Amino acid sequence: ITATSANESHWKVTALSGTVEWDSLIINDEPDALIVWRSREGADVPNAGSVRFEAAPGDEGTEVTVAIEYDTRGGALEKMLAKLTGEDAGLQVSITLKRLKALMEAGEIPTTEGQSVGEPQASAKGKK
């Protein structure tokens, strides 16, 4: 993602059908509340969406609601393959929101990098 102005960006994504690109325009930006965007005409994947931020009940953080509309132009087969291979937009949004939650709550995104696998314990090796 490359910001091209305060409210525009260029997107380049690897998809099942190859690399797709589009320009996106933020059409509504309410700080701490709402971001709404749509792709520019001629996008490889026409899309539009919004992200809404609302205080959670009982002052227990923030609820984030994401809505995305897109046209892959690949039809039902491409959508099914995307789900099977983990390239589905809904799955990607879910993963991204979980990473954002971890970053906001812990200040970092948890990984297994640097963790050893370890050797199997004696009991797992089958003691005689």
Q: Taking residues 108-128, report their average pLDDT.
A: 62
Q: What is the distance between the alpha carbons of residues 74 and 90, in angstroms, rounded to a whole number?
A: 16
The verdict on residue 9 lying in a domain is yes
Nearest to 22 by CA among 8, 7, 32: 8
**How does DSSP classify residue 56?**
P
The verdict on residue 123 lying in a domain is no
Place of tokens 């906001």: 104
CB 24 within 8 A of CB 35: no
The verdict on residue 31 lying in a domain is yes
pLDDT of res. 112 = 73
The verdict on residue 122 lying in a domain is no
Output the domain CATH number for residue 83: 3.30.530.20
The verdict on residue 78 lying in a domain is yes
pLDDT of res. 93 = 74
The verdict on residue 72 lying in a domain is yes
CB 68 within 8 A of CB 47: yes
Give per-residue pLDDT as tens, 69-105: 887 666 665 666 566 656 666 777 777 778 777 877 7
The backbone torsions φ and ψ at residue 30, rounded to the nearest 5 degrees and listed phi first, read: -110, 105
Give per-residue pLDDT as tens, 14-63: 776 678 889 999 999 999 899 999 999 998 888 999 999 999 999 888 89
The verdict on residue 32 lying in a domain is yes
Higher local confidence (pLDDT), 125 or 97: 97
The verdict on residue 21 lying in a domain is yes
Domain that holds residue 92: 2-106
Question: Domains in the chain: how many in total?
Answer: 1
